[in-house]
Structure 1
Amino acid sequence: MADKLLIGIDLGGTTTKMAFLEKSGKIIDKWRIKTDTSDNGNHIAPNIAKSINSEMTKTNHTKDEFLGMGMGTPGTIDNKAGTVYGAYNLNWGDKHQVKSVIEKGVGLPLIMDNDANVAALGEFRRGAGSKDQDIVFVTLGTGVGGGIITEGHLLHGCNGDAGEIGHICVKPGGYMCTCGKRGCLEQYASATGVVHIAHDMAEKFTTGKSRLKQLEDKHQKVTSKIVFYLADNGDILANQVVDRVCFYLGLALSDVANAFNPSNIIIGGGVSNAGNTLLQPTTRYFQENAFPPVRDSTKVQLAQLGNDAGAIGAGSLALKFDKSSKNKSSWDK
């Protein structure tokens, strides 16, 4: 009898990415749907169940072929109660019954975890951390998230908030963060943080010519992608902005590495598409600030799985439903 398959669900504010996977984490089918956040997000869970059923029919699978489902989601998760809350980009400010709706709709058990944690699991199982037991994953997007795996175990902490790398303070008294604190990494190394820094530095920029300065002065739209593109093409101000961003990121990663001594720190998310323009200065500042033995044993690198990391990691959560295995940990390789 063939091994049972897994279902991975990567729930995002704009799109929901899903996949059917083998136990090894290999994707055999993947698709995506629009995340409908209208009506307080009440359509999200039913739409996920409906889409999974439709894809099973389309690909000639039945629910009996699957072990279970795993889902990565923003917000605060209570698997016992089956609820998610505080996911404001989904309009799930209050507690939403998610687990029971999807389980009833599909007929399979579901386990949930934080979206950054499942992306970390994905890179750990099939991506840049697949040869290691100790990794830190940081995702740079609209915000900054993270996941920490040490000795093969995903850390959650006493309140489920381990890995909140985005809320490490890198500049006391700095930019106000949505969490209510000032100076969080999220306000300096996210896509929105890059734009914020660019705006402030442009106001004080007086030396040389800069296309970024011109865009800011004319109140034209500036994105993190534009900033890194201009830096790649020699723009003085854009390079100064990138250097500032990478300083804060490298500093925060050195603090995390000093605490956990990972083999790899893996950087993912949309901002990581800047490639070496982001990676090289970040690595330099990481090495300047890390404890020397940690500096010499930890590699900073870019994620490898792109948009597949979340679905792969989410699917691996369903390994906990494997009654045939003595070790049901979702992080097993």
Structure 2
Amino acid sequence: MEKAILGLDIGGTGIKGGVLIKGHLEDIRSIPTPAMESQEYILETIALFIESYAHYDYVGIGIGIPGLVDTREGVVLGLANIPSFQHVELKKFLTLRFGKPVFVNNDANCFAIGVHKYGVGRPFKNLVGITLGTGTGGGIVINGQLYSGVNSAAGEWCSAPYLDQNFEYYCSGKFFENFYNSRPKALAKQALQGDPVAIRAFEEFGHHLGELLKVILYSLAPEAIVLGGSIRKTFPLFKKSMYQTLNTFAYPTVLSQLKILISELDETAIHGAVALVDVEEDMVSV
């Protein structure tokens, strides 16, 4: 598409936007999310934010949110960090307001289609995107198309039971906070300075992540798994232990063809949101 596409990432703390023009994101900006306000107030805040981009004459609006979505109707089913944002007819509200096509999906699904369309995942028809940050999210691309499943819940391996909790507990920032009382960024700095406790923290994290990737391989056997989120920047610290665990996967011929890649996109959430507009007509859903 040569014309502009508007992408929004709506989170519990901030609303971020940007415009894709000829394959490049421009005019990236953000505002705080009025998370404790009423649903009506939040919707009006989103609308006013979108209005600030009106001069681009964009062809459609793509939106990623950290929660489950009825993607057919564009209904946000719930957001943990925004109490009033339950069963929100976001697509209907914005379509009536702006008269443009609106597409809404889970932010991890947005990440997966974003890296497939604009990032390191471009060479692959079948890939999984995993976001490693405050939480853990997953998205699936099959034969070049985003697979969202019912209520955009496909790829939610984070909630699958693992050890005494679930995978998110051990494969996100929660692991470092719960077991080492520290944030990943601070621990990474200590690890790079040779701190043995910090080094061990990332070795353990890599092991847990390797177990998650094995589950994904048993489920889908994708060509590539792309890691995103803030923790991806510490990849050299957990790479070795991750691969050591991955090497226990039962099918070496499958593992030998797997590519594990690190997303190079700094604005993956917005890239994924605009990708919804670009590919939605071909999207596979249930």
TM-score, structure 2 as length reference: 0.90
- Residue aligning to 1:185: 167
Which structure has the bigger radius of gyration? 1
Deviation at 1:253, TM superposition (A): 0.3
Counterpart residue type for residue 146 of structure 2:
L
CA distance, structure 1, for counterparts of residue 203 and residue 40 of structure 2? 42
**1:1-43 alpha-carbon deviations (Å, 9 max, x no partner):** x833211111111122212114x64324322222121224433
Give the 3-state SS of the residue equivalent to 2:29 in structure 1.
strand
The 8 Å contact of residues 74 and 92 in structure 2, kept in 1 or not, is answered as yes
Give the 3-state SS of the residue equivalent to 1:148 in structure 2.
strand
CA distance, structure 1, for counterparts of residue 184 and residue 250 of structure 2? 27
**1:55-111 alpha-carbon deviations (Å, 9 max, x no partner):** 234xxx33xxx3211111122212444421220212245322322222233331211
- Residue aligning to 1:319: 278
- Residue aligning to 1:47: 45
Give the 3-state SS of the residue equivalent to 1:194 in structure 2.
helix
The 8 Å contact of residues 35 and 83 in structure 2, kept in 1 or not, is answered as yes
**1:143-188 alpha-carbon deviations (Å, 9 max, x no partner):** 11010112112222345311012123331xx1xxxxxxxx211001
CA distance, structure 1, for counterparts of residue 43 and residue 251 of structure 2? 45
Give the 3-state SS of the residue equivalent to 1:27 in structure 2.
strand
Give the 3-state SS of the residue equivalent to 2:155 in structure 1.
coil
Q: How does 1:75-90 map to 2 (within 5 A)?
A: 75-90=67-82
CA distance, structure 1, for counterparts of residue 90 and residue 170 of structure 2? 33
Pairs aligned (count) = 284
Counterpart residue type for residue 69 of structure 2:
I
Compared with structure 1, are the counterparts of its residues 290 and 245 closer, same or farther at alpha carbon in structure 2 (3 Å cutoff)? Answer: farther
- Residue aligning to 2:192: 232
Give the 3-state SS of the residue equivalent to 1:289 in structure 2.
coil
Give the 3-state SS of the residue equivalent to 1:90 in structure 2.
coil
1:69 aligns with 2:22: no
Q: How does 1:12-161 map to 2 (within 5 A)?
A: 12-22=11-21, 25-57=23-55, 61-62=56-57, 66-92=58-84, 94-161=86-153
CA distance, structure 1, for counterparts of residue 9 and residue 51 of structure 2? 16
Compared with structure 1, are the counterparts of its residues 40 and 273 closer, same or farther at alpha carbon in structure 2 (3 Å cutoff)? Answer: farther
- Residue aligning to 1:263: 223
Counterpart residue type for residue 251 of structure 2:
F
CA distance, structure 2, for counterparts of residue 330 and residue 314 of structure 1? 13
TM-score, structure 1 as length reference: 0.78
The 8 Å contact of residues 13 and 33 in structure 2, kept in 1 or not, is answered as yes
CA distance, structure 2, for counterparts of residue 280 and residue 92 of structure 1? 43
CA distance, structure 2, for counterparts of residue 79 and residue 158 of structure 1? 8
Give 5+ residue unaligned stretches, structure 2.
none
Q: How does 1:228-307 map to 2 (within 5 A)?
A: 228-289=188-249, 291-306=251-266
Q: Which moved more, 1:27-36 or 1:9-18?
A: 27-36
What's the C-alpha RMSD, in Å, of the aligned pairs? 2.2
**1:223-259 alpha-carbon deviations (Å, 9 max, x no partner):** 2222222222222222222211111110110120232
Compared with structure 1, are the counterparts of its residues 245 and 275 closer, same or farther at alpha carbon in structure 2 (3 Å cutoff)? Answer: closer
Compared with structure 1, are the counterparts of its residues 290 and 117 closer, same or farther at alpha carbon in structure 2 (3 Å cutoff)? Answer: farther
- Of 171, 195, 219 in structure 1, the residue corresponding to residue 177 of structure 2 is 195
Give 5+ residue unaligned stretches, structure 1.
175-182, 200-221, 322-327
CA distance, structure 2, for counterparts of residue 92 and residue 74 of structure 1? 14
CA distance, structure 1, for counterparts of residue 236 and residue 225 of structure 2? 15
